[in-house]
């Protein structure tokens, strides 16, 4: 029973950590969102601002479950190491996007980051599909959101 509980504590740890980092990034980028971002020409499909923290909380939760399964349940599959590396790289890219876009206003660099995130996430889905399909399903909402974010970023890059 203790080992089972310990395993689930690590699940809450992954989810809590990712949501906390996302919250912190939101705090440091908020001043720029309140001023600079609102002055930009944005797509008519841009959601209202309150949607973003809700969406990212859910997505970071799914990414936390993904990481927990990857690090705690999958041990004897060749692709596990590759998936861990890809996951880590896309997460670093994910965390870098907001400061690059909102603080440094490097719209083109931010677009490149999103394109790389899309490519890496697609590779992660492909690798996990063959051996542990539930991981692929966990990141479908994330992939859909970053594809949408790529469109929004592209629109801003083209029209500003």
Q: Could you list the mean pLDDT of each consecutive 10-residue stretch along the chain, which spans 160 residues? A: 69 96 96 92 96 97 95 78 95 98 98 99 92 89 99 99
User: Rounded to whole angstroms, what are the CA distances from 71 to 83, 89, 101?
Assistant: 10, 15, 30
Indicate the SS3 state at residue 76: coil
pLDDT at 40: 97
Q: CA–CA separation, 95 vs 52, rounded Å?
A: 14
105: left (phi over 0), alpha (psi -120 to 50) or beta: left
Q: CA–CA separation, 62 vs 52, rounded Å?
A: 15
pLDDT at 12: 94
Number of structural domains found in the chain: 1
pLDDT at 7: 74
pLDDT at 3: 55
Question: Is there a contact between 64 and 19 (Cβ–Cβ < 8 Å)?
Answer: yes
78: DSSP letter: T
Residue 149, domain extent = 2-159
Find the CATH number of the domain harbouring 93: 1.20.1260.100
DSSP output for 31-73: HHHHTTGGGS---TTPPPTTHHHHHHHHHHHHHHHHHHHHHHT
Question: Is there a contact between 80 and 70 (Cβ–Cβ < 8 Å)?
Answer: yes
User: Rounded to whole angstroms, what are the CA distances from 10 to 3, 5, 142?
Assistant: 11, 9, 21
Neighbours of 86 (CB within 10 A): 19
Neighbours of 145 (CB within 10 A): 16
């Amino acid at each position: 029973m203790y080992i089972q509980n310990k395993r689930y504590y690590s699940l809450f740890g992954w989810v809590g950590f990712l949501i906390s980092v996302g919250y912190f990034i939101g705090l440091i980028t908020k001043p720029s969102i309140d001023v600079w971002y609102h002055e930009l020409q944005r797509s008519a499909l841009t959601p209202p601002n309150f949607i973003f923290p809700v969406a990212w909380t859910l997505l970071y939760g799914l990414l936390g479950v993904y990481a927990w399964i990857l690090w705690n349940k999958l041990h004897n599959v060749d692709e596990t190491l590759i998936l861990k590396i890809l996951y880590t790289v896309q997460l670093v890219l994910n965390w870098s996007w907001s400061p690059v876009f909102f603080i440094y206003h490097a719209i083109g660099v931010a677009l490149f980051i999103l394109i790389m995130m899309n490519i890496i996430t697609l590779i992660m889905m492909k690798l996990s599909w063959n051996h542990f399909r539930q991981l692929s399903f966990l990141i479908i909402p994330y992939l859909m959101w970053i594809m949408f974010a790529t469109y929004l970023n592209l629109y801003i890059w083209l029209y500003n």
